Amino acid sequence: MKKLTLLLALTFTTAILNAQELPSTMLKTLEGKKVDIKDVISSDGPTVISFWATWCKPCIKELTAFMDYAIDLEEELGVKVLAVSIDDSRNSARVAPLVQGQGWEYTVLLDENQDLKRNLGIVNVPFTLVLNNKGEIVWKHSGYSPGDEETLAEVVEEVAAGKSPSH
């Protein structure tokens, strides 16, 4: 145990504050096609990746509340928003009907075996990432409470302007 603690401590203290990229991970589109997340993110502007699930109420609230901002951000700043569902393969059949019924216009991807969620060390949904146009993760947030969508929109605007996020 002592050794492990030491190892962990070392890992943390020696870690250099640096940009993090997405690990290459296969996801599915709603049509059942396999795609690598690295090929889906935008290279022209920021990408927002929001992890959610059909059974997660705060996730649905967040994506619904952010929709009002996403329309403008996509149009004006070329922002790409990906809604990655971590529903298992039985529940993933419910994803497309729910997305339509909510009137969301996000690109929806399925992480059925939760590989991407695990690779990124995510504990729970909702979990939101913002990437810059180089594909580097520049902002992360876990959980959702009302008003978080305002912060997210501010962060995305800053990243689009080439600044580092202030929140």
Partner 1 sequence: MKRILLTSLYLFLGTSVYAQGQQSFGGQLHGNFQLDGQWYLRDEGIDPSGEFYPDERFLGQGYANFIYNQGDFSGGLRYENYQNVMLGFPEGYRGEGITYRFLRFKQDNLDITVGNFYEQFGSGMIFRSYEERGLGYDNAMDGVRIKANPVKGLYIKGILGRQRFYFEKSPGLVRGIDAEYNLTEFLPRLDSAGYRWNIGGSYLSKYQRSNDPFLILPENVAAAGVRTQITKGAWAFQAEYAFKANDPGADNGYIYKNGNGIIANLSYSKNGLGIIAGFKRIDNMSFRSDRNGSTIDMLVNYLSPTTQVHTYALPALYQYATQINGEEGGQVEANYKFKRKTKIGGKYGTLLTANYSVAQSIDKDFVDDSNDTLKVLQGYYSDPMRRGQIPYFHDFNVKITKKLNKNFKFNLSYLNLFYNRSVLEDGLGDEAILNNPDNQKLLGADIFIFESLIKLKSKHYLRTETQLLTTKDDRGSMAMMLAEYSIAPHWFFSIQDIYNYGNPVIDQRLHYPLASVIYTEGTSRFQISYGRQQRGIFCVGGVCRVVPPSNGVSFSLTSSF
Interface residues with partner 1 (CB under 8 A) are: 1, 4-5, 8-9, 11-21, 23-24, 30-34, 54-57, 88-91, 93-94, 96-103, 112-114, 118-124, 127, 137-143, 145-148, 150-151, 167
Q: Which is nearer to partner 1, 79 or 129 (CB)?
A: 129
Whether 45 and 77 have beta carbons less than 8 Å apart is answered as yes
Q: How far is the CB of 162 from partner 1 (least distance, A)?
A: 16
Q: What whole-number distance in Å separates Cα of residue 130 and Cα of residue 150?
A: 14
Whether 50 and 117 have beta carbons less than 8 Å apart is answered as no
Q: Which is nearer to partner 1, 55 or 78 (CB)?
A: 55
Q: Which is nearer to partner 1, 30 or 77 (CB)?
A: 30
Q: How far is the CB of 44 from partner 1 (least distance, A)?
A: 23
Q: How far is the CB of 161 from partner 1 (least distance, A)?
A: 18
Q: How far is the CB of 126 from partner 1 (least distance, A)?
A: 12
Q: What whole-number distance in Å separates Cα of residue 122 and Cα of residue 106?
A: 21
Residue 4 Rama label (left phi>0; alpha psi -120 to 50; beta)? alpha
Backbone dihedral angles phi then psi of residue 48, each to the nearest 5 degrees:
-105, 130
Q: What whole-number distance in Å separates Cα of residue 139 and Cα of residue 60?
A: 20
Q: Are strands 127-131 and 107-110 parallel, antiparallel or unpaired?
A: unpaired
Q: How far is the CB of 101 from partner 1 (least distance, A)?
A: 2
Q: Which is nearer to partner 1, 10 or 44 (CB)?
A: 10
Q: What whole-number distance in Å separates Cα of residue 54 and Cα of residue 46?
A: 25
Q: Which is nearer to partner 1, 16 or 161 (CB)?
A: 16
